[in-house]
Amino acid sequence: MTAIEDEEDDMAFAVARTRDEAHLYLELHPCPDCGSVDAPWEHGLAEEHGELVISYAAVCPGCEAEREYLFGLPARDTAAVGWPTFGGPEPSELLDPGQWMDVADQAAAVVPTAPAEAARVLALARAAVDEVIKFVPGGQDAVPDEEFWTPEGRAIRDAEPGRFRLERLMVVRDAYHDLVRDTGAR
């Protein structure tokens, strides 16, 4: 279950801003029992501790473990335009900037040769870098260290902290954009 507990034991569920963001989160969190990432996720609205949430539930096909993740609802509807659409202007509550950078790196490392498939993978890489940029506060030139809340995200930042400078992020994002355009795919 994905939830953040505060000091008063109230539950505050991390918000899944869009379906694409929730699905990416689920892909990045394999079954803890067998490691399978495949699951026939069913989703819908549910009530948990008096709060309306989005529930994703599945039975793992690898080991039959029951899995469920609960996400908070976004404050506003994020109109999906194109693919992928991870959220609005606010930073993610599900993935930290290091995890988003890892998504971009993994996508860019396996770009297929077919133009339409290449454009799709590069669009994912570009969108993931856009998500990292959302963690840079206005008037600052880099993602602050406190924004890296997962061990995976901190490890990626620690390996090369300069990658999280705004100027560099924008160059990388623009390069992915140009590569998508150069594939000739839409």
Burial bucket for residue 70 (CB in 10 Å: 0-12, 13-18, 19+): buried
Task: Please compute the mean of the pLDDT values over residues 135-153 and round it to a whole number.
Answer: 97
Query: Does residue 39 fall inside a structural domain?
Result: yes
Query: Does residue 176 fall inside a structural domain?
Result: yes
Query: Does residue 61 fall inside a structural domain?
Result: yes
Is residue 7 very low, low, confident or very high in pLDDT (cuts 50, 70, 90)? very low
Query: Does residue 88 fall inside a structural domain?
Result: no
146 and 106, same domain (yes or no): yes
Query: Does residue 56 fall inside a structural domain?
Result: yes
115 and 174, same domain (yes or no): yes
Sign of the torsion angle spanned by Cα atoms 175, 132, 68, 85: negative
Domain count, the chain: 2
**Lowest-pLDDT choice from 2-11, 13-22, 167-176:** 2-11
Place of tokens 């930073």: 91
Q: Report the largest interatomic distance among the alpha carbons of the chain, rounded to a whole angstrom.
A: 54
- Per-residue pLDDT at 135: 98
Q: Residue 14's domain spans which residues?
A: 4-72
Angle at 88 between CA 92 and CA 148, to 5 degrees: 20
- Neighbour tally for 178: CB within 10 Å: 11
102 and 176, same domain (yes or no): yes
172 and 110, same domain (yes or no): yes
Is residue 5 very low, low, confident or very high in pLDDT (cuts 50, 70, 90)? very low
145 and 178, same domain (yes or no): yes
17 and 65, same domain (yes or no): yes
46 and 109, same domain (yes or no): no
**Lowest-pLDDT choice from 57-61, 87-91, 141-145:** 87-91
Query: Does residue 91 fall inside a structural domain?
Result: no
Pair of tokens at residue 8: 């008063």
| Contact by Cβ (8 Å): 126, 176 | yes
Query: Does residue 92 fall inside a structural domain?
Result: no
- Per-residue pLDDT at 8: 39
101 and 68, same domain (yes or no): no
Q: Alpha-carbon distance 144 to 131, whole Å?
A: 14
Q: pTM of the predicted model, to two decimals?
A: 0.88
Pair of tokens at residue 82: 């194109």
Query: Does residue 90 fall inside a structural domain?
Result: no
| Count of residues making up the chain | 186
Contacts of 173 (CB under 8 A, 6+ apart): 126, 129, 130, 133
